[in-house]
Amino acid sequence: MAKCAFIGLGVMGYPMAGYLQKAGHEVRVWNRTAQKATDWALQYGGTATDDIADAVTDCDLVFACVGDDPDVRAIAAPAFNAMKARAIFVDHTTASAALARELAVEAKARQLGFVDAPISGGQAGAEAGQLTIMCGGHEDDFARAAPVMDVYAKAITLMGEAGAGQLTKMVNQICIAGVVEGLAEGLHFAKRAGLDGERVIEAISKGAAQSWQMENRYQTMLQGEFDFGFAVDWMRKDLRITLEEARENGARLPVAALVDQFYADVQAMGGKRWDTSSLIARLEKD
C-alpha cells in the first residue's frame, strides 16, 4: 500500500480519492474549500489538512485534479517544495501539454517523478471507478503510478513522454465535440420531422451511428434535462486549450472551433453549468 495525497476534491477528485482510501492506501486530502476535505475525511476515514505541504510530506504519490493551468501551477509549487525525493506527482487535471512538459522538467530537477494523466469518463465514471486515463511521462514513473490509479480506472495507457497524455485528451475532446453536435442535430431534426425520438434511437443505435453519447444522453436531451456529467464551462476550457495547441502544431480543427462557438451560445443562454449535451438547447431556442 502507498502513502498518497490527493489535491482537489471536485466532482471527479472526491470519489477518486475515496477509491484510493477504500483500496487500503493511506490518503491525505487538501481542497481549496477546506470544509469539503473535512467532509471527505468523515466519509472515507482518511486525513484532511488545510496545508498542501502537510498533505504531501512523506507521500509516495501526490495526485491532483483541479481546474486549469494556473490552478495546477498554484498547487505544484508548494507540493514540489515539500515532496520527498523519488515521489511522483500525478496530474489528473486537463491542462496544456506545455505545462506538463514544464512541470516534468522541474520535477526531474528536484528528483521527483511527474505523470500527466488527464481523465475521461465524467462524474459517472469517477463515481463508478471506471475512468479512462491517458498518460505522459517516464516509463518508470508510470509503472509505479499505474497500479495505484487502477483502483478508479477501467483503462490506463502510457502515450509517450510528458505532455502526451494531455495531447491525447485533446483528441478525445475533439471527437466528443463533433459527436455531441451531430447527436443534437439528429434529435432536433427528428423532432421537427414529427418522428418519435425514442423509436429513432431504437432504430439507429445498433448501427454505425451508435456512440456512448447516444446511449447515455439521448433521453435527457429529448427531455431537455442537462444536469448530468461534464459542464459546458469545462468543455470550453478544454476546447480553448486544444485550439491553442492546434494553432501551434498547424492542425486544422474547423468542427471543434465551430462547436466551441456553439457552446459559447449555450453559456449566453445561462447554461454554463449545464452538461455538454445541452447543445440541443441552442438548436431549439425560440
Judge whether 169 counts as a catalytic residue.
yes
CA proximity to 242, closest of 156, 192, 177: 177
Alpha-carbon span 271 to 267, nearest angstrom: 5
Which residue is catalytic, options 3, 22, 36, 169?
Answer: 169
C-alpha to C-alpha distance for 221 and 204, rounded to whole angstroms: 16
The C-alpha atoms of residue 197 and residue 188 are separated, in whole angstroms, by 9
Residue 27 main-chain phi, psi, to 5 deg: -120, 130
Q: Name the residues annotated as catalytic.
A: 169
